């Protein structure tokens, strides 16, 4: 099945101007799915909200000193999701594989965080993944389900190896999840860890971690931010990081071996637009940082 059969059309393009696929290094697509959300659902509306706000933000990155108007980004639309989680993830994995096969860097806009697993399933296991998130999402099972927004990272760690995963901004988890980290070697960095030293120390730790792998991937759950900065999320968790800290760490995670990234868990109906705005900004700055680095070999 070609990706064109899975996309929906007729939406505002991300950044307001979709470039032709053949001219674009980056391909943005949405996965409007939130069936396993267990508190406040609504992230299925995020792809369209991210597009709308992105078309009304300025495109110059002062962090990377780069004009994003000169960086071609193709908006391929949204995955045609279905009620069945496994089928929706399968479709997402297929699209990711097709885009990667033609040399593109896919950018997924969730949707719930489970969609990250679909991207990881499309990639080889010699992969380092950094997750900016309030939650570990490492439960072995949640509400009788082995795969959901609360368990997906456990499934990812089982596939690529716990030592291939670093979770940053973490402050919400169960004791069994924390025990799993200690026993398996999965690295976590809390907001308190970040604040104990200059921010560049954490940025360097991320860069060093990712340098140990042939490929790297970044996933950003917008609830990594303190609710003061991003209230429009399904599972808000106080004592989070700031927008500056988030964007600095996103920039650090964009390396020459980055093969893609995602931004998930924006629930636009829960606020007046500020969470979608910062979500779009995360994507902008990730693209800008990656554009200033050498393409993946």
Do residues 45 and 32 touch, judged by C-beta distance below 8 A? yes
Query: Is 297 domain-assigned?
Result: no
pLDDT computed for residue 8 by the predictor: 47
Q: What is the mean pLDDT of residues 75-103?
A: 95
* Confidence band of 35 (pLDDT split at 50, 70, 90): confident
Query: Is 83 domain-assigned?
Result: yes
Indicate the number of domains in the chain: 1
* Nearest CA-CA partner of 237 in 40, 48, 44: 40
Residue 196 corresponds to which tokens in the numbers above? 């104990």
Q: pLDDT tens-digit profile of 56-79? A: 999 999 999 999 999 999 999 999
Instruction: Please give the residue range of the domain that contains residue 117.
Output: 3-291
Q: pLDDT tens-digit profile of 196-232? A: 999 999 999 999 999 999 999 999 999 999 999 999 9
Give the range among 36-40, 79-83, 100-104, 153-157 with minimum mean pLDDT: 36-40
**3-state DSSP of 45-89:** HHHHHHHHHHCCCCCEECCCCEEHHHCCEEEEEEECCCCCHHHHH
End-to-end CA distance of the chain: 27
pTM of structure: 0.94
Mark out the alpha helices in 102-198 (DSSP H runs).
Answer: 115-121, 152-160, 175-184, 191-195
* Confidence band of 10 (pLDDT split at 50, 70, 90): very low
For the chain, the 3-state helix, strand and coil shares in percent, each to the nearest 5, are 40, 20, 40
* Confidence band of 294 (pLDDT split at 50, 70, 90): low
Who has greater pLDDT, 4 or 162? Answer: 162
Query: Is 274 domain-assigned?
Result: yes
φ/ψ of 40, rounded to 5, equals -115, 110
φ/ψ of 22, rounded to 5, equals -65, -20
Query: Is 169 domain-assigned?
Result: yes
Query: Is 87 domain-assigned?
Result: yes
Non-local (6+) Cβ contacts of 126 within 8 A are 213, 214, 215
Query: Is 251 domain-assigned?
Result: yes
Which CATH number does the domain housing residue 10 bear?
A: 3.40.800.10
Query: Is 275 domain-assigned?
Result: yes
Query: Is 296 domain-assigned?
Result: no
């Amino acid at each position: 099945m070609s990706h064109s059969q899975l996309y929906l059309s007729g939406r505002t393009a991300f950044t307001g101007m979709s470039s032709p696929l053949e001219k674009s290094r980056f391909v943005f697509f949405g996965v409007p799915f939130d069936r396993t959300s267990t508190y406040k659902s609504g992230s299925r509306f995020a792809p369209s909200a991210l597009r709308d706000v992105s078309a009304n933000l300025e495109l110059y990155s002062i962090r990377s000193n780069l004009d994003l108007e000169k960086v071609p980004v193709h908006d391929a639309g949204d995955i045609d999701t279905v009620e069945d989680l496994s089928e929706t993830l399968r479709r997402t994995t297929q699209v990711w594989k097709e885009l990667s096969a033609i040399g593109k860097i896919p950018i997924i806009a969730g949707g719930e965080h489970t969609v990250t697993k679909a991207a990881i399933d499309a990639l080889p296991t010699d992969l380092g993944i950094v997750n900016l998130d309030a939650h570990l999402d490492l439960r072995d099972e949640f509400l009788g389900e082995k795969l959901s927004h609360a368990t997906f990272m456990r499934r990812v760690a089982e596939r690529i190896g716990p030592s291939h995963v670093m979770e940053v901004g973490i402050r919400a988890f169960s004791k069994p999840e924390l025990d799993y980290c200690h026993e398996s070697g999965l690295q976590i960095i809390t907001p308190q860890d970040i604040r104990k030293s200059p921010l560049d120390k954490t940025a360097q730790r991320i860069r060093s971690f990712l340098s140990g792998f042939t490929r790297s991937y970044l996933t950003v759950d917008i609830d990594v931010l303190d609710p003061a900065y991003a209230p429009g999320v399904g599972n808000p968790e106080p004592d989070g990081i700031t927008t500056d800290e988030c964007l600095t760490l996103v920039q650090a995670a964009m390396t020459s071996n980055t093969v893609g990234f995602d931004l998930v868990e924006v629930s636009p109906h829960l606020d007046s637009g500020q969470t979608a705005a910062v979500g779009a900004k995360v994507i902008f700055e990730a693209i800008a940082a990656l554009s200033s680095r050498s393409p993946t070999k």
